[in-house]
Amino acid sequence: MTSSYSNAPPRRPLSSTSLRWLLPIMLVLFFLAILIWLPWQARQMESNERLEQLIADTLWVEQTIRFQMARDEESLRALGVEIATGDLTPKQLHERMARLLRNGKELVRVVWLKPDGALAASSDPLTNPVELSPLSRETAEITRKTRRPMYTQPAAQTQVANAAPAAVLMDYHVPLFRGNEYLGDLMATFQTSALLDEMVPWWFAQDNQVSLVDRDDKVLARRAAAGPGHGVYTHKRALDLPGASVTLVTDSVKSAPKLLPNLLVGSVIVLSLGLLWSLLALWGHISKRLAAEGALRQQMSFRTAMENSLVTGLRARDLEGRITYVNPAFCQIVGYPAEDIVGKLPPMPYWAAEAMSEYEARFASVLAGKVTPQFETFFQRPNGERVPVLVFEAPLVDNHGRQTGWMGSILDISDRKRIEEVNRQQQEKLQASARLATMGEIASMLAHELNQPLAAISSYTTGALNVLERDGPVERSLLKPALEQASAQAQRAGQIIRSVHEFVKKREPLRQAVAIASLLDGIRALIELQARQSYVSYRTEIPPDLPPVRADRVMIEQVLLNLTRNGIEAMQHVQPQRRLLKVVAAHHADTQQVSVAVIDQGHGIPDEVAQRLFSPFFSTKAEGMGMGLNICRTAIEFHGGALTFRANPEGGTIFTFVLPAATEQETI
């Protein structure tokens, strides 16, 4: 028994045999899995690559279309500004509109519609009335209310010149305003099919069906050079058009890649061509990336060139007030290089010490989100020179609608300030000339007026000498009254001379709280002098509680003297009992203004004269310069008031000017 067991062969463990067969089976299964997975993965990679390529190309086409439309929008807005300012003749306006059509093939017409819908100008030589669709009329009304350009939703329109029959068109409305006056609507019509024909590259159209659809996926235009798409690789990209919902849809004509029928052959082919395909794919990717980088560099260079060519300074700040960007024009205005400004927080090196509190208060309001859209201030250059500037500030918003800071536009207004100063000096010289001319006109009356007190002084002094010669007690008692009368007459003559001197002397305007009664008392002698010469009665009606006005005394005295003199001259040819000149003042508590009316009962002002009454160098008098009323109106407007006139119901004219009443602080 023992020997038989000893001669039998040893049995191998079951686990070792199973592992020997399991490993090859697993390797075979793994190999088969690799053979199955590689083509499938290749197919998935190809699908993903095609889709990614389609998305990238679609984005590029969308940016191309939007860039061209943005250029058209900018051209239309610039044309609208020139129309509003009235710088273009009708012929120039038509040429500009026709040039827009030549430069933009996607445009079929450009028209200017008046507020009543009438055609004011058109790119088409025809003068037929323009029939707007209901959507276009609605959009025009919205743009008029919001003052913002807007597109209409694209729709089929007929009877539009230069457009294909039943073409899908889209109107772009630019409202025209001159101040608050609505001048109408500048409208450009885009043909949706032309957007695709002109801006989609041929190579992209050969591989894809390109469409424009509305919010309901209704096709507005389509370009399918290589036939309809297969619906496998598609991408949608919305065009950012204010007021219109238009989406760019691309559908590749390529079908989904198919698995190779023979997986082994496919694996061999894939393994053999893998390296070549990867090299080609890498080369293509690098080429596209280099092309994209080149296009980006070109765009950045173009943008940088535009910013560098601006004479307007640009300054960007983040939400903390730190400067993040400045252009060369801003650096030139403040006199500091960009590296000394960018990245800094206030206080800035170009802030002047005397206005530091103003800068800090405005910066605090900016941090609080209460930015002032437009204000004037001044900056200080390194050499101490002050530069007056006009600043426009607006929120800086990214493409996601989030505010990232503040964007400012800065204009150097030094030339404008110099011109304003020259104009002010010229106006002062003109006013001084007018005062001298006024004194020249009343010189003869002044001489007559001075003769009376001077003759009285001579008589009283002669009498005093005679009394002194007699030297009696009675005579000495009469000496004091005579000398007092002589002194009073001398003071009267001196007052007249001082009034003339104060009126004609040259000085800087000084605004202060001045009572109307005090102004009239200061020139009463001159007014009564002219009134007596023409046998005119002079009367004033000044309420005792009339508040003072904030004005320059000499300028308002000149206005009163000119208006009263005109009133006196207007009554020279009426009956003596009607020759009454009144100066009436009143306080208007609701507007905090004081009105002064100069009322005469003269011949009045004819309609043909009234239209040109305030025009410079217009006068109804043969010897007049025609600057009196013009100077009066300029002086009143300089104080923030207004000068008007109207007919007097009792005959004659009423000239009225209003001035702001002085506050209690100014009065004190």
Q: Range with the lowest mean pLDDT among 35-44, 243-252, 381-390, 424-433?
A: 424-433
DSSP for 260-295? -SSHHHHHHHHHHHHHHHHHHHHHHHHHHHHHHHHH
Tell me how far apart the alpha carbons of residues 143 and 454 are, in angstroms, rounded to a whole number: 75
pLDDT tens digits for 106-148? Answer: 888 899 999 988 888 888 776 567 778 888 889 989 999 999 9
pLDDT averaged over the chain? 77
Q: Check: pTM over 0.75? Answer yes or no.
A: no
What number is the average pLDDT over the span 148-152? 93
- Nearest residue to 628 (alpha-carbon basis) of 564, 584, 580: 564
> Which tokens is 74 given?
């900018």
pLDDT band for 151, please (50, 70, 90 cuts). Answer: very high
CATH superfamily of this structure's domain 309-410: PAS domain (3.30.450.20)
Which stretches within 369-472 are classed as H helix?
414-441, 443-470
Which pLDDT score, from 0 to 100, does residue 372 have? Answer: 76
pLDDT band for 278, please (50, 70, 90 cuts). Answer: low
Which pLDDT score, from 0 to 100, does residue 5 have? Answer: 38
Which pLDDT score, from 0 to 100, does residue 269 have? Answer: 58
Q: What is the dihedral of CA 73, 78, 81, 85, to 10 degrees?
A: -150
Which pLDDT score, from 0 to 100, does residue 480 have? Answer: 61
Which pLDDT score, from 0 to 100, does residue 161 have? Answer: 59
State the helix-helix crossing angle for 628-638 and 414-441, rounded to 10 degrees.
130
**Residue pair 148/242 in contact by the 8 Å Cβ criterion:** yes
- Give the burial string for 501-537 (b: 16+ CB within 10 Å, else e): eebeeeeebebebbbbeebbebbebbbebbbeebebe
pLDDT band for 581, please (50, 70, 90 cuts). Answer: very high
Please tell me if the domain spanning 68-190 has the same topology as the one spanning 309-410.
yes
Q: Range with the lowest mean pLDDT among 275-279, 580-584, 645-649?
A: 275-279
Which pLDDT score, from 0 to 100, does residue 14 have? Answer: 46
Cis peptide before 347 (omega within 30 of 0): yes
Q: Which residue has the tokens 């370009």?
A: 223
**Residue pair 650/601 in contact by the 8 Å Cβ criterion:** yes
**Residue pair 653/645 in contact by the 8 Å Cβ criterion:** yes
pLDDT band for 177, please (50, 70, 90 cuts). Answer: very high
Whether 251 has a pLDDT exceeding 80, the answer reads yes
| Residue 215: strand pairing partners | none
Which pLDDT score, from 0 to 100, does residue 622 have? Answer: 40
pLDDT tens digits for 233-249? Answer: 888 888 888 988 999 99
Which pLDDT score, from 0 to 100, does residue 159 have? Answer: 56
Sheet with 386-397: list strands edge to edge. 323-326, 313-318, 403-412, 386-397, 374-380
Percent of the chain with pLDDT over 70: 71
DSSP state for residue 381 in the 8-state scheme: -
Tell me how far apart the alpha carbons of residues 616 and 628 are, in angstroms, rounded to a whole number: 9
Whether 533 has a pLDDT exceeding 50, the answer reads yes
Which pLDDT score, from 0 to 100, does residue 585 have? Answer: 94
Q: What are the distances in angstroms from CA 468 to CA 112, 226, 462, 511?
A: 95, 131, 10, 52
Span 510-668 CATH architecture: 2-Layer Sandwich (3.30)
What number is the average pLDDT over the span 576-582? 89
Whether 501 has a pLDDT exceeding 80, the answer reads no
pLDDT tens digits for 459-492? Answer: 556 656 655 665 555 555 556 665 665 666 566 5
Q: Which residue has the tokens 């900056």?
A: 379
Q: Where are the domains of the chain?
A: 68-190, 309-410, 413-506, 510-668
pLDDT tens digits for 349-387? Answer: 888 887 788 888 888 887 777 777 888 888 888 888 888
The Cβ of residue 21 has, within 10 Å, a number of other Cβ atoms equal to 9
CATH superfamily of this structure's domain 68-190: PAS domain (3.30.450.20)
